[in-house]
Amino acid sequence: MALSPENALFNKYEVGKLLGCGAFAKVYHARDVATGRSVAIKVINKSRLNNNVVLENNIKREISIMSRLRHPNIVKLYEVLATKRKIFFVLEFVKGGELFAKVAKGRFSEDLARKYFQQLISAVSYCHSRGVYHRDLKPENLLLDENGDLKVSDFGLSALGDHVRSDGLLHTLCGTPAYVAPEILAKRGYDGAKVDVWSCGIVLFVLTAGYLPFNDPNLMNMYKKIYKGEFRCPKWMSPDLKRFFSRLLDTNPESRISIEEMKLDPWFRKGYSEVKSESIGLVREEERKLQNLNAFDIISFSRGLDLTGLFDGKFVASEDVDRLTAEEQPETVMERVEEVVKAESGGLQLRKTKECGMELEGQNGDFVVSLDVYRLTDRLVVVEVKRKAGDATAFAGLWNDKIRPVIQRRPETTN
């Protein structure tokens, strides 16, 4: 239900229907009361955060990155607002929805795919020129406006040039499995521009083939295919496009095609023209505004943001499930839980169910709970504990008093 102007958010935006939900945010359609312009408002509830530096930095980074980007094929961030409980990203409203929804109905012609791919590359090239690497390019993060033009969104996993280590490479493990570049899987560091090109290649393949080039129900088998570069182009693809894919999906980042080389490729350059972006002066003005907001603690991540309880509270047996976040590697979390179990007396049994999952069973089977660890970002995991059988009252004390504190123990840092 829309709000009346006098009750509008910050007396500026009438908030309308819910457009989508994520783990930490909801996105609503809204109307600018003064201009009548439609906008999208991404609402981050601070109570869903867990006083976690990684999550705070992800939000700061997304603000910083989006405030410096002004390109026709990138979703615009208009402003950032906040209350004690919530942060509001006011974004350009992109009417046509996700590119994923359109391609899910069937593959595109090469001409239509080329149009979208050219717009994608124009946006990505612009990002790279400003030291921004997206690192999660996929059809779900590509939107279409009312004119059928592409808009890149969701910079939550993006990296800036100052994240590069002394070896000149990025080292954060992130991205969506089917779109991730082989050098990320190798865990030896990677060039942000090269991995974005790889992901763009996967997107183009999906648009023109209608399916993923590397796919397998078993995640490790899919990773093996990616690492080896095992894919086949369908017979209906033109020879020029097949040759283009051999350069885009080259497992060797050194010989993989660059964006500048793409612009000389016969398949790509057909009908291509450079897109003009807005002046950098406007971008700097937006950054200045956001810095002023920070100065008044509107979006202060050092003291103004009350970060309490991403997955709040304790395990209650009657509620069957608890979740928490930890700034740790999944393997380390598993090791810590195993150490606690080994130190316990009373017949507690542990069975590993998968690489980062286990079952814990009480004496005489009085309870059975599962514990699974899921990677959220390169340094952040979500741990979920769930009652599967029996009365978990006995386990609740063990979890709340011993296992949970060990999992959430801050990692030691060295200066």
Q: Give the residue numbers annotated as catalytic, written as ranges.
A: 136
Q: For residue 322, list its beta bridge partners.
A: 385
How far, in whole angstroms, is CA 302 from its chain's centroid?
23
Residue 58 DSSP SS3 = helix
- Quick one: which of 61, 10, 62 has its CA closest to 33? 10
Residue 414 DSSP SS3 = coil
CA dihedral 216, 155, 250, 169 (to 10 degrees): -120
- Quick one: which of 307, 314, 336, 310 has its CA closest to 385? 314
- Quick one: which of 76, 2, 68 has its CA closest to 288? 68
Query: What's the CA gap between 31 and 44, in Å, rounded?
Result: 19
CB–CB of 293/80 below 8 Å?
yes
Helix (H) or strand (E) holding 89: strand 86-92
CB–CB of 179/196 below 8 Å?
no
- Quick one: which of 272, 226, 225 has its CA closest to 253? 226
Task: Count the Cβ atoms, other than its own, within 10 Å of residue 406.
Answer: 13
Q: Using alpha carbons only, give the angle 354, 360, 365 rounded to the nearest 5 degrees.
A: 130
How far, in whole angstroms, is CA 63 from its chain's centroid?
14
Query: What's the CA gap between 4 and 14, in Å, rounded?
Result: 7
- Quick one: which of 153, 140, 158, 129 has its CA closest to 202? 140
- Quick one: which of 157, 159, 263, 248 has its CA closest to 204? 248
CB–CB of 250/257 below 8 Å?
yes
- E strands present in 178-284: none
Query: What's the CA gap between 373 and 357, in Å, rounded?
Result: 6
> Exposed e or buried b for every residue in 187-212, given b needs 16+ CB within 10 A?
eeebbbbbbbbbbbbbbbbbbbbeee
